[in-house]
Amino acid sequence: MSGNPTTLPAAGPLAGPGKGAARSPVARRLLRRLEVRMLALALVIAVVLSLLSPYFLTRTNLFNILDQSVVVGIVAVGMTFVILTGGIDLSVGSVAGLCGIVLGLALQHVPIPVGIALAAGAGGLIGLVSGLLIAYFGLAAFVVTLGMMAIARSLAYIASGQTAISNIPAGLSDIVYTSILGVPGNVVFLLALYALAFAYLTYAKGGRVIYAVGSNVEAARAAGLPVLAYSVLPYVVSGALSAVAVTFSVAQLLSADPLMGNMLELDAIAAVVIGGASLYGGRGTILGTLIGVLIMVMIRNGLNLLGVSPFWQGSAIGTIIILALLVERLVSARAAR
């Protein structure tokens, strides 16, 4: 790897003669990597849930977990791009809702691939507008995407006539249920997307510029990097991927509802943050985001298996997110010493 964006400044492997060199250097080095700690947390959660519920570790349930990861997982990729630049995209849920309606309406007239392209194009266009308002006009990302969130949801209701579009061509469900080597199509897509995003952020010029912009935009500009283009791109990616994510929802339900994607932004942001990204930008990895998504979905899945009331699930998930971050902060502070 040509860069090592997750190395915490205070916790670099060259921290010099550290004080408590009690643990083996390999373990220490591994523990300094945030993804490794979060992966450990994911495993702990998995073990606890499998002890609490005999159904958790079944093949069906594991595929369930992957299946439930697809929508939030796809959106979280775009969100990672945005958060790496130091921005935030609150509009992803509403954009998903609007693009689902665009897809549903389009499929009444055009073939499936064209419909998907139109939906993704609509999502990307919304992202382009948000990105330009943020990067070119210098408006706050929080405010712009908050406004876009309201606009997109309102347009979704208007375009759909306040009702779900249910006459979706059944062929669309093929993207979910066609399996490759025994793995469902939507999961294959998710994994391929993560591999692609990882490669882009690590080996492509654009990916490295995104890190540089998020880490120190002024230095990036002064070094002659194309700051504007790569400040806007993440919002375009985020918008387009919101559309792709909702396509999988629509394909599963064969129905497009203007309410789709409600609160999706919260799950996506939580997954990215649990995955170790800094909301100030410049720090985070796509692998971390994948682990974050899995943690979120596993918890939700486990609570369902345990029969916890949906009304209590919100409290449980919120508490676990905050606890996870708190523990992480304490651990990383110790590892830095």
Partner 1 sequence: MGAAPAISPPLLVAAGVEKTFDRTRALAGAGLTLRPGEVHGLLGANGAGKSTLSKVLAGHVLPDRGEIRLAERPFRAASPREAMEAGVGIVMQETSLAPDLTVVENIFLPELGRPGLLSRGRLRRRARDLLARLGHDHALPLDAEARDLSAAQRQLVEIAKALALDTPVLIFDEPTASLSPSEVESLFAVMDRLRRDGHALVFVSHRLEEVFAITDRVTIMREGRTVADAIETASLSQADLVRHMVGQELGFIYARSGDGAPGPRGDVVLAVEGLRAPPAVVDVSFRVHRGEILGLGGLVGAGRSETAEALFGLRPRTAGRITLNGRAIAPRKPAEAVALGLGFVAEDRRRQSLVPDLSVRENLLLAHLGAHRGFGTGYRAREAAVDRLVARLGLPADRMAQGSILAFSGGMQQKVVIARWLLLEPAVLILDEPTKGVDIATRASIYAILREIAAEGVGVVLISSDFEELLGLSDRIVVLSDGRSIADLPSARLDEAKLTLLAAPRTSMARSAALLEGLAGAHRASAFWALIDGDGLICLGSAAAAGAPDPGLRPGEAFRAEETRIPTALAARRDGFVDEPDGGCATLLTPVRSAHGHDLGWIGLTLDPAAPRPDAAGVRAAIKAAMSPAGTGSDALGSSPS
Q: Can you tell me the distance from the alpha carbon of 255 to that of 167, in angstroms, rounded to the nearest whole number?
A: 7
Q: Which is nearer to partner 1, 13 or 111 (CB)?
A: 13
- Does residue 218 interact with partner 1 by CB under 8 A? yes
Tell me which of 13, 25, 111, 314 binds partner 1, using CB under 8 A: 13
Closer by beta carbon to partner 1, 10 or else 43: 10
CB of 232 to partner 1, least distance (A): 15
CA distance 226 to 232: 11
State how far the Cα of 99 lies from the Cα of 117, in Å rounded to an integer. Answer: 10
Say if CB 214 and CB 84 are below 8 A apart: yes
Which residues inside 80-139 make contact with partner 1, applying CB under 8 A? none
Closest CB to partner 1 among residues 205, 334: 205
Residue 203 interacts with partner 1 (CB under 8 A)?
yes
**Site for partner 1 (CB under 8 A): which residue of 78, 93, 131, 214?**
214
Cβ closest to partner 1, residue 69 vs residue 285: 285
As a whole number of angstroms, the distance between CA 301 and CA 56 comes to 8
CB 84 within 8 A of CB 210: yes
**Does 7 sit near partner 1 (CB under 8 A)?**
yes
**What does residue 2 show for φ and ψ, rounded to 5 degrees?**
-85, -20
Tell how strand 183-184 and strand 179-180 pair up.
antiparallel
Q: Which is nearer to partner 1, 2 or 309 (CB)?
A: 2
Q: Is 144 in the site for partner 1 (CB under 8 A)?
A: no
Contact between 211 and 67 under an 8 Å Cβ cutoff? The reply is no
5 part of the interface to partner 1, by CB under 8 A: yes
Taking the least distance from each CB to partner 1, the nearer of 148 and 335 is 335
CA distance 183 to 63: 9
Contacts of 145 (CB under 8 A, 6+ apart): 88, 89, 90, 91, 130
Nearer to partner 1, 1 or 170 (CB): 1
Residue 204 interacts with partner 1 (CB under 8 A)?
Answer: yes
Among 4, 166, 178, 319, binds partner 1 (CB under 8 A): 4
Site for partner 1 in 223-252 (CB under 8 A): 223-226
Shortest Å, Cβ 319 to partner 1: 30
- Output phi, psi for 96, to 5 deg: -60, -45
d(CA 162, CA 15): 59
283 contacts partner 1 (rule: CB under 8 A): yes
Using CB under 8 A as the criterion, which residues of the chain lie in contact with partner 1 when the complex forms? Answer: 2-5, 7-10, 12-16, 203-206, 208-209, 211-212, 214-216, 218-226, 282-283
